[in-house]
Amino acid sequence: MSSKSLTAEYLKGLWDENPVFRQLLGMCPVLAVTNAVINGIAMGLAASFVLILSSVVVASIKKLIPAQVRIASYIVVIATFVTIADRVMAAYFPPISKALGPYVPLIVVNCIILGRQEAFSSRNSVGRALIDALGMSTGFILALLILSSIREVLGAGTFLGYQVMGPWFKPWIIMILPAGAFITLGILLGIALAIEQRTRRGRA
Amino acid sequence: MDLLMLFIAAIFVQNYVLYYFLGICPFLGVSKRIDSAVSMGMAVTFVMTITAVVSWMINHWILIPFKLDYLQIVSFILVIAALVQLVEMFIRKISPPLYQALGIYLPLITTNCAIMGLALLTALRNYNFIHAVIFGVGSGLGFTLAIVLMASIREQLDLADVPEPLKGAGIALIVAGIMALAFTGFSGMIT
């Protein structure tokens, strides 16, 4: 049982334990769907839906799950919510569902979600698990938003489909190609680590 | 011809790691030395080929005939988890040297998005059986190629003077980006 305040429990997901920048988890969707802001947001919301509901369910049934089959049980819970998210998206937002392709069903193997169940929900109360999942989701959406904004603005000159760059601007095609995803995320990780090292030095 | 195209496309043009971004975790985690990268690549290729066969059979013989395709995600993930376990036990019995080489990498593969992605992509694209198998083998070899190349670059990178914050994952991702850029050169091969 952790003794942190609920606010701290929420805030740790934003920076100290940010799933993407600090824990390097769930990189596949982060790289794959961030070529446009709208795709990044859709992926962020879908993953958050799954993470929050799975955390609540796992935290509430944790006493019923035998330790030997816990991973398999978590996967079944997660897969159920992923199926719901996938079907809802296909029914109500067909263009986005098409753009995200196999990456929505792939949320099921996203290491952030399974990782939080194993590391947090299975040993904390329902309320704490909910707050933790909310924090991690916010951190994940934030990372997707930053990466997809950089890539869409530089790669297409637009933000959420609206033109933001003047007519002088020549889009950097590389940014919407897979290569742009790797390079941008690499640089962002470097920046995040540099900030962290500087603040740690400041505290010491 | 069609099959050859599919095979080449899976290895070079639509490389599993550098185009679909699947299997990034092992790609970054197990690419520090060439020999472990080769073992990981072999393990993934092996499991991918079997997954392609088994997931195709489940999808076409069970899920589609009984109109259960909404259970795709759940059934694929459980079957893959069971399959990897089975393969591990099988190899340990049949070939201890192979188990020595692949052993520790097999459990890691279970929650690997590359394997799940393969099952989903095969189902999504309605491949027939032969195509599914070729796609599985090709994707596995593509993954092996990418991870071995990456490992050979990273062995050299140890000697390079990398800025402190970029060490580790940062520079690995940037190198991967440059590799992806080089691989886009192959896109002319498929029309």
Q: What percent of chain B stands above pLDDT 90?
A: 27
Amino acid identity of A6?
L
Give pLDDT, residue A3: 63
**Chain mean position to CA B92:** 22
Report, in angstroms and rounded to the nearest whole number, the Rg of chain A calculated over CA atoms.
Answer: 18
Residue type, A64: L
Do the beta carbons of residue B112 and residue B29 sit within 8 Å?
A: no
CA distance A126 to chain B (A): 24
Predicted local confidence at residue A69, as pLDDT: 84
- Check B111 against A177: CB less than 8 A apart: no
Q: Considering only CA atoms, which of B169, B25, B19, B83 is closest in space to residue A112? A: B25
Dihedral sign, CA of B79, B80, B85, B86?
positive
Residue A124 lies in a domain: yes
Tell me the pLDDT of chain A averaged across its residues. 89
DSSP summary character for residue B13: I
The answer to whether residue A67 is domain-embedded is yes
In a domain, A197, yes or no: yes
Asked if the structure places residue A163 within a domain, the reply is yes
- In angstroms, the Cα distances linking B128 to A52, A168, A177 are 38, 49, 30
pTM: 0.89
* pLDDT tens track for A159-197: 988 888 888 888 888 898 899 999 999 999 999 999 888
The per-residue pLDDT for range A16-70, each reduced to its tens digit, is 888 888 888 888 888 888 989 999 999 999 999 999 999 999 999 989 988 888 8
Using alpha carbons, select from B136, B144, B142, B117 the residue that is nearest to residue B16: B142
Question: A28: domain range?
Answer: 6-203
Structure tokens belonging to residue A32: 């794959």
Query: Does B22 lie at the interface with A, CB-CB under 8 angstroms?
Result: yes
Asked whether residue A95 is domain-assigned, the answer is yes
* Contact flag A105-B72 (C-beta cutoff 8 Å): yes
Structurally, chain A folds into a number of domains equal to: 1
Average pLDDT of A103-132?
A: 89
Q: What is the ipTM of this complex?
A: 0.86
Q: Does A89 touch chain B (CB under 8 A)?
A: no
Q: Is A108 on the interface with B (CB under 8 A)?
A: yes
Q: What is the per-residue pLDDT across B28-75, written as a single tens digit (0 to 9) for each?
A: 877 888 888 888 888 888 889 999 999 999 999 999 999 888 888 889
For residue A1, is it within any domain?
A: no
pLDDT for A2 beyond 60: no
Nearest CA-CA distance, residue B96 and chain A, Å: 26
CA-nearest of A155, A187, A131 to A35 is A155
Q: What pLDDT is attached to residue A44?
A: 94
At A74-105, the pLDDT tens digits run 989 999 999 999 999 999 999 999 989 889 99
A1 has a pLDDT exceeding 50: no
First to last CA, chain A: 28
User: Is the Cβ of B72 closer than 8 Å to some Cβ of chain A?
Assistant: yes
Q: B20 pLDDT exceeds 70? A: yes
User: Is residue B175 scored above 90 in pLDDT?
Assistant: yes
